[in-house]
Amino acid sequence: MRVMVPAVLAVLLSVPGRGEAQSVLLGGQIKLGLDSTSTGGNRAARLTDNTSYFFFDGKEDLGRGLKAFYHLEWNFSADTGVQGAGRGIYMGLDSERWGRLQMGRQSVYFSHHWFINDPHGAFDAAPLAANSLNVLGTVNGAYFAGNFLNNTVRYEAPDIYGFSGMASYSFDAEQPGAGRNHTWYIAPTYTRGAFKAGFFHMQRDSQGVLPAQTVGQLDQTADRLALGYTWQGFSFGLLADRNRVQDRASGRTQSRYAFAVPLNYNTGPHGVALTYGQALSMKDGGQTVGGTGARMLSISYQYRLSKRTSLDVSAIELRNQSKGRYNFWGGALNGSPQLAAQDAGARSRMFYLGMKHLF
């Protein structure tokens, strides 16, 4: 099971070297849209980038079913032209019989959110705000579970009678003396015909603060169960999610449960996606904190002009309870997935008209 890279590759170069067959693939996507967003009494209309990136893939046939490969991927803001950070940057070996081993900077946990029939967000023409990660990813808007993690070793198992999956370990200790930082991730999956099932578990232990990719002094455990079924153009999914963080110094914990139900229908160039998601009230120190839940509903219509170009119209509403601080995944207005304290309980809405082109 490979990381999903939603791009149609535009360049395929055969490069001879030392007598072995090599290839280099260049691809990516540009995704831009006009959105009108409101959170509480704040409103904004803008042109927004929604995960534009480019990548290079390279591989070499080593014979006997074994290949060496690399992947170099960077994001950029198509609305401003600003170059972003590297997303997935790794290399490894791929065996038809034994699976795939890769090392480098790789996505952990949320990377397999799209395994289960939920195309909303980063990997279709809809905006990030349409994603059910709005409520699945955080504990009342904080402590997002997963990211692109540095220094990661990852193994992806081959398909054996429908069973597959992956496991990874991140040596993300980037500060001297902070050797406790690491992340375990396992994700067994099963696919049989139109049915899919997966379980995704992440255990992250942190010491010190790692640059822009961790919850700091908190240990984190995240689990997700995903089920899906596809029938005659219809896709149905169910995702149940638990996120828990613990402060090692005080022993204090925060946790919450959430779920999402993505529904999709595709016929010809037309596609409709509907996702309902709900985060239940969180627990702090084992006690339920009432009013800290949220619900979301998103609907998108997409029209595929070609295999490479799609148009999208989306409407999303994220409705917090009185103490809820959930925001759109990736942030909106304040740029953070957690609303400011004074905006607790706010209702966020977005209307979006956008375009995605693969190259």
Paired strand residues for 312: 302, 354
Q: Which amino acid is at 178?
A: A
C-beta atoms surrounding 31 within 10 Å: 26
Distance CA 296, CA 317 (A): 6
Can you tell me the mean pLDDT for 196-219? 69
* Lowest-confidence region among 55-64, 139-148, 181-190, 214-223: 214-223
The letter for the amino acid at 236 is F
Answer whether 131's CB lies under 8 Å from 12's CB: no
User: What pLDDT, on a 0 to 100 scale, did the predictor assign at position 315?
Assistant: 97
Whether 151 is covered by a domain: the verdict is: yes
pLDDT, averaged across the chain: 86
What pLDDT band is residue 144 in, cutting at 50, 70 and 90? confident
CA 67 to chain centre: 27
Residue 1 falls inside a structural domain: no
pLDDT of residue 272: 95
109-123, 165-179, 207-221, 310-324, range with the lowest pLDDT = 207-221
Mean pLDDT for the stretch of residues 26-39: 94
Find the domain containing 68 and state its range.
Answer: 11-358
Per-residue pLDDT, averaged over 199-213, amounts to 67
Query: How many separate domains does the chain show?
Result: 1
What values do phi and psi take at 10, rounded to 5? -95, -20
What pLDDT score was predicted for residue 159? 95
**CA atoms of 23 and 135, how far apart (whole Å):** 40
Locate 126 and state its tokens.
């809809």
pLDDT over threshold 70, residue 341 = yes
The predicted pLDDT at position 175 comes to: 52
- Distance (Å, whole) CA 359 – CA 357: 7
Would you say residue 122 lies in a domain?
yes
Please give the C-alpha separations between residue 239 and each of 117, 185, 194, in angstroms, as whole numbers: 10, 18, 17
**What was the pLDDT predicted at 177?**
54
The pLDDT of residue 126 is above 70 = yes
Q: What is the CATH number of the domain that holds 173?
A: 2.40.160.10
Average pLDDT over residues 211-224: 68
pLDDT beyond 90 at 291: yes
**Residue 43 within any structural domain of the chain:** yes
Q: What is the pTM of this model?
A: 0.86
Share of the chain above pLDDT 70, in %: 87
Q: Is residue 253 one of the residues assigned to a domain?
A: yes
In this predicted structure, what is the pLDDT of residue 40? 82
Q: Is 6 inside any structural domain?
A: no
Residue 71 or 214, more confident? 71
Q: Which amino acid is at 287?
A: Q
Residue 3 lies in a domain: no
| Mean pLDDT within 6-21 | 43
SS3 string of 36-58? Answer: EEEECCEEEEEEEECCEEEEEEE
| Domain-located, residue 31 | yes
Instruction: Identify which has the larger pLDDT, 171 or 121.
Output: 171
The model's confidence at residue 6, banded by pLDDT at 50, 70 and 90, is: very low
- Quick: pLDDT tens for 310-339: 999 999 999 999 999 999 987 788 888 899
